[in-house]
């Protein structure tokens, strides 16, 4: 097991054991949620942050300040202001809490700038890391503040490590099926290589499937779409047409897996013993292109497998289809979950001392 197994799954210092009475606590939460028309459209990640905040209140914290990023702005941008997210948090928590502005409005955030970290930590007595979805980033709000204040793991972070850690155990139930998709390809091919060596089958959709069609990773049992939905122009108003995967017209955009692929993927998932799903297999935000992701979600939900679903888009899809409570574990982290399972060190967790 790589350093993620040895380091990330070690016993780290927990907020349960922190003396917070009379203290000002800085909490790094993951409030990176989708917005529509200036309002939160899916509050799953906000709800996931509540147990830690309530514990701090119950244990007598004098003041709680929450920080988070929202989207990927390059600087101050009203479209990514934290206000609607903070408003939803206040509605759900019903306890006093301060919410700082979007951390990515400051260029020092992504540079892990010590000065910005000091600004975040100013006046606080200790730091609680509860943003699993961001711990794979060495940013000021995930790593920098942990070097200034005594750092502890929040309840969500602990739960994430336990839920995902089950996939790293050698006795994982078979067949072990991994489903990967999403619009963010990045280095997911490397993740597929690592996970695929442990899994029995990898089902790939979205943009990643096209990349893997060209460069198939060795030693991985890979199932790619045999048919797809494609549109002439990448526009929601464009009508999708079904094509065999190798016969999509030049210049057309693939927006979903096709009906035969849905059937094949669902059959594999129904017989699985363990499932890890990260990333929708189509542009599920468009009603005309969500049947592939719906088929995957329903097959995962119907399976008797230990099922882990990770990433904001996948969680949004589960919520959209009313299936969130039908999976074994819903992880708030997409990239973080992938890197953990790939065996990488996660900087935001490495910064938390052992018990």
Kindly write down the DSSP assignment for every residue of 50-68, as one continuous string.
Answer: HHHHHHHHHTTBSEEEEE-
Residue 350 lies inside a defined structural domain of this protein:
no
Annotated catalytic, 335?
Answer: yes
40 and 143 both lie in a single domain: yes
What residues form DSSP beta bridges with 67? 28
Number of H helices, E strands in the chain: 12, 16
Per-residue pLDDT tens over the stretch 78-119? 999 999 999 999 999 989 999 999 999 999 999 999 999 999
Instruction: Look at residues 109, 106, 107 and name the one whose alpha carbon lies nearest to residue 141.
Output: 109
Give me the catalytic one of 311, 335, 344, 348. 335
Query: What is the Cα–Cα distance from 214 to 326, expressed in whole angstroms?
Result: 35
331 and 233 both lie in a single domain: yes
Give residues with Cβ within 8 angstroms of 236, minimum separation 6: 286, 288
Give me the catalytic one of 45, 104, 188, 290. 45
Give me the catalytic one of 258, 279, 312, 334. 312
- List the chain pLDDT tens, one digit each, 355 residues: 233 344 445 689 999 999 999 999 999 999 999 999 999 998 989 999 999 999 999 999 999 999 999 999 999 999 999 999 999 999 999 899 999 999 999 999 999 999 999 999 999 999 999 999 999 999 999 999 999 999 999 999 999 999 999 998 888 999 999 999 977 666 667 778 888 888 999 999 988 888 888 777 777 899 999 999 999 999 999 999 999 999 999 999 999 999 999 999 999 999 999 999 999 999 999 999 999 999 999 999 999 999 999 887 888 899 899 999 999 999 988 889 988 988 889 999 999 999 7
Annotated catalytic, 184?
Answer: yes
Percentages of the chain per state (helix, strand, coil), in multiples of 5: 40, 20, 40
90 and 210 both lie in a single domain: no
CATH of the domain at 229: 3.40.50.1260
Give me the catalytic one of 147, 184, 207, 264. 184
For residue 54, give its domain range.
Answer: 10-158
Annotated catalytic, 45?
Answer: yes
Which of residues 131, 158, 185 is at a domain's end? Answer: 158
Residue 11 has a pLDDT of: 84
Residue 41 lies inside a defined structural domain of this protein:
yes
Residue 349 lies inside a defined structural domain of this protein:
no
Residue 274 lies inside a defined structural domain of this protein:
yes
Annotated catalytic, 334?
Answer: no
Per-residue pLDDT tens over the stretch 189-242? 777 888 888 899 999 998 888 888 877 777 789 999 999 999 999 999 999 999
Residue 304 lies inside a defined structural domain of this protein:
yes
Number of domains within the chain: 2
Residue 348 lies inside a defined structural domain of this protein:
no
């Amino acid at each position: 097991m790589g350093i993620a197994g040895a380091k990330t799954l070690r016993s780290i210092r927990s907020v349960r054991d922190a003396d917070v009475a009379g203290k000002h606590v800085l909490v790094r939460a993951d409030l990176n949620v989708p917005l529509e028309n200036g309002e939160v459209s899916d509050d799953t990640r906000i709800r996931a942050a509540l147990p830690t905040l309530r514990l701090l209140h119950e244990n007598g914290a004098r003041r709680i300040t929450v920080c988070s990023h929202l989207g990927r702005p390059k600087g101050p941008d009203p479209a990514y202001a934290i206000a609607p997210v903070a408003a939803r948090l206040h509605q759900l928590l019903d306890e006093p809490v301060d919410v700082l502005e979007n951390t990515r409005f400051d260029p020092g955030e992504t540079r892990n700038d010590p000065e910005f970290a000091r600004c975040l930590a100013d006046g606080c007595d200790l730091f609680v890391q509860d943003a699993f979805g961001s711990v794979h980033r060495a940013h000021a709000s995930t790593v920098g503040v942990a070097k200034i204040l005594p750092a502890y793991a929040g309840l969500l972070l602990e739960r994430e490590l336990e839920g995902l850690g089950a996939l790293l155990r050698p006795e994982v139930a078979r067949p072990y099926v991994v489903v990967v998709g999403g619009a963010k390809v990045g280095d997911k091919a490397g993740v597929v290589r690592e996970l695929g060596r442990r899994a029995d089958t990898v089902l790939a959709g979205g943009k990643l499937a096209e990349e893997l069609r060209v460069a198939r990773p060795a030693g991985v049992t890979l199932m790619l779409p045999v048919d797809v939905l494609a549109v002439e122009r990448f526009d929601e108003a464009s009508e999708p047409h079904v094509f065999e995967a190798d016969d999509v017209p030049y210049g057309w955009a693939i927006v979903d897996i096709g009906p035969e692929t849905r059937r094949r993927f669902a059959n594999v998932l129904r017989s699985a013993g363990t499932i890890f799903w990260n990333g929708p297999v189509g542009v599920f935000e468009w009603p005309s292109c969500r049947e592939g992701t719906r088929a995957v979600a329903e097959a995962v939900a119907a399976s008797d497998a230990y099922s882990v679903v990770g990433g904001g888009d996948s969680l949004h899809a589960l919520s959209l289809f009313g299936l969130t409570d039908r999976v074994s574990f819903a992880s708030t982290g997409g990239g973080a979950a992938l890197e953990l399972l790939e065996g990488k060190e996660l900087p935001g967790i490495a910064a938390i001392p052992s018990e």
